Structure 1
Amino acid sequence: MEKARKTIAQLVRDNYIVASVLHFFGIHFYEHTDKTLEQVCNEHAVSADIVKNRLETAGELPLSQLSLIDYPVELVIGYLRHAHHIFIKEKLPYMAHIIKHIRPNSFSDPQIALDLQSVFPIFTEDFIRHIYEEEDHLFSYILKLSEAKRNLKPTQLYFTMEKNSIQKFSMEHEGYDDEMAGIRAMTDDYYLPPTADLHQRVVYSELIGFEKSLQIHASIENRILFPKALQLEQEIKSLMQTKIKLN
């Protein structure tokens, strides 16, 4: 059956990403489950072809970790910053929206729905604060090291390196490697009974997908960014020692 003639419920059941794509166009799947994609697009003055094209590209695999290994540290940070932007501007607002509009009695366990609605805003606030702290401190420090490699000014960098170290950042980062632990426990590892309704399935699918994205993100930081940054820091220390000896 052609996508435009399937109902929204059918499309979302086939692929839960459809719900987030519709949200991008201002269409909330749970308000139009019995309508076709064609009908909904007409009502919202959105081109069905444009929506279908976006559906075709949704969920494409990101840049592989393997290719990032060969990138300079500045580009690795650029990639991670882009991921942060997606988390803050797209993923989290969408999940907050669909969780806020859960009808608790439609969940297999209404208390889980109420708990999610209570906890998710707190989780979001804490997560965003962590991202901004990471960018303001860790990323900023690494970029200063990278700039120093091209234009070393020991007197300017000495005090910065006295107050910071990649090893310290790495140890602090370990505490954030499982941000979703509380939500995972609350939902019994995202368990869905056979009778779970479509909204609950979409919510859990998004939570699972977000957790996988965070795992990949953390792996890139732990296996690629930190080793590159540690090597860079050691190179700068050697350069500073050499420059001091020459002076």
Structure 2
Amino acid sequence: MEIVNKKIEDLVGENLIFASVLYYFGIKFYDYCDKTLKQVCEERQLDTNIVIKSLESVEKNDDNNNIQLVSYPVELIIEYLKHTHYIFIKQKLPFIARLLETIDEKHTGSSNFVEDLKLVFPLFVQDFIEHIYEEEDTLFNYILSLSKTLHGKMHPSQIYYQMEKHSIQKYAMEHELHGDEMEGIRKITQNYQIRESDELPVRVLVSELKNFDKELTVHANVENNVLFPKVMQLESDVKKWMADKIMFN
């Protein structure tokens, strides 16, 4: 059967990731389970071909495993990380939160972790968002200041006072210590175990949490293995540049 003529419930049941793709088009799969993709697109005045291409691209998308950022300047790496932060905060987490809101006892089957998640997840989101904003306001701004200094776009006195307060090595060590943000949720869901007795919304929820965990791991690897090594060298170069400038003055 062509994808356009499949019921939404069947589409999502075959590939749980489709639920989030549909959500970004304004299609809440749990509200349209008995309708075909074609019917829903017509009802919501969506271009069916665009929706289908988005669904198909998810199955082929392997971007997370092919990120080649090592050769990029720190400015572009930070833009990539900021964009990822935006996707997390504006798309991924709201979808998971919405899923949790729609699940009640009749959906849970043998999974008794949903109520625990409803208590824990909002706290996780609050801490996560605070961490993201703090990282952007402190670490990222400091890194950009280092880069501006080497490119002659910041006065040496300004970066001197920043370097008195900040240390890339310290940031890197703290990042390693607080890296596993999903540990509690992983334990609650028994490592994202999906049971056949669970209804579709619960299976989608667990799948989304697992994918989010995977994306966070990729994100952390970019910071730990690409950004921090580059920025440690950048900070070292700035220190050497300032020492040379003092010597010749």
Check the 8 A contact 1:104/1:111 in 2, yes or no.
no
Q: 2:71 maps to what in 1?
A: 70
Q: Structure 1 residue 124 and structure 2 residue 110: aligned? A: no
**What residue ranges of structure 2 are gaps of 5+ in the alignment?**
none
Q: 1:171 maps to what in 2?
A: 173
Q: 1:217 maps to what in 2?
A: 219
Q: Give, in whole Å, the separation in 2 of the partners of 1:220 and 1:22.
A: 28
Quote the offset at 1:92 in angstroms. Answer: 0.9
Q: SS where residue 26 of structure 2 aligns? A: coil
Q: Structure 1 residue 158 and structure 2 residue 160: aligned? A: yes
Per-residue CA distance 1:94-144 (angstroms, 9 max, x = gap) = 111111111233213464111111211111111111100010001000000
What is the correspondence of 1:1-247 to structure 2 with a 5 Å cutoff? 1-58=1-58, 60-62=61-63, 67-109=68-110, 111-151=112-152, 153-247=155-249
Per-residue CA distance 1:179-216 (angstroms, 9 max, x = gap) = 10000001111112222221111001100100000000
**What residue ranges of structure 1 are gaps of 5+ in the alignment?**
none
Check the 8 A contact 2:111/2:198 in 1, yes or no.
no
Check the 8 A contact 1:76/1:225 in 2, yes or no.
yes
Q: Give, in whole Å, the separation in 1 of the partners of 2:24 and 2:146.
A: 39
Runs of 4+ in 1 over 6 A off after TM superposition: none
Number of residues of Structure 1 aligned to a counterpart in Structure 2 = 247
Distance of aligned partners of 1:65 and 1:131 in 2 relative to their CA distance in 1, 3 Å threshold: farther
Q: Give, in whole Å, the separation in 1 of the partners of 2:105 and 2:119.
A: 12
Mean CA deviation greater in 40-49 or 230-239:
40-49
Identity %: 48
Quote the offset at 1:22 in angstroms. Answer: 1.4
Aligned-residue Cα RMSD (Å) equals 1.6
